Amino acid sequence: MNTDIDTIIKKHLHRVAPEADLDQLKADEELGPTLDIDSMDFYNMMVGISEELQVEIPEEDYGKLRTLKSIKEFLSRSATESG
């Protein structure tokens, strides 16, 4: 399950930052400054992920999802809760 989530996050990250080497990205690095993505890129990425995985991302969690690790944890948690 975790590998799937990882692939999906990276696929959507690749869409907004096509030239970034995502294999070099560390799990706890902040995505914004590391990949130079802005709030619209981030928004597009989260919309893509939530559509693909059919997960709602509550407003209060949205602001906390700033690293690969935090997004992965959140999505794994949502998957467990719903499934």
Partner 1 sequence: MGKFIMPSLGSQMIEAKLIQWHVQPGDTVKKGDIIGEIDTEKGLIDVEVFEDGVITELVAQEGEVVPVGSVMAVINGKGKAEEVEVKPSETPKEKKKEVRSEGEQEVITKKPAIEKRETLKQRPKASPLARRVAEDLNIDLKKVTGSGSGGTIHRKDVEAFAQQKTADETFEKELDMAEHVSKAEGKSMRQSIAAAMSKSNKEIPHYYLETDIDMKAALEWLSDENKNRPVDKRLLPPMLLIKAVANALTEVPELNGFWTDEAMHIEEGIHVGFAVSLRQGGLVIPAILDADLKSLDEIRSDFVDMVTRAREGHLKSREISSATITITSLGERGAEKVYGVIYPPQVALLGFGKITDRTRAVDGSIGIRPTLSVVLAGDHRATDGHTGSRFLEKLNAQLQHPEDL
Judged by the rule CB under 8 A, the positions of this chain that interact with partner 1 are 17-19, 32-33, 36, 38-40, 43-44, 46-47, 50-51, 56-60, 62
Least distance between partner 1 and beta carbon 26 (Å): 18
Question: Which of 60, 81 has the CB closer to partner 1?
Answer: 60
Minimal distance in Å, beta carbon 38 to partner 1? 5
Q: For partner 1, give the closer residue by CB, 33 or 83.
A: 33
How far apart, in Å, do the first and last CA atoms of the chain sit?
12
Give least dist CB 34 to partner 1, A: 11
d(CA 62, CA 22): 21
Count helices and strands (H / E) in the chain: 5, 0
For residue 38, give every residue at least 6 positions away whose Cβ sits within 8 Å of its Cβ, in sequence order, or none.
32
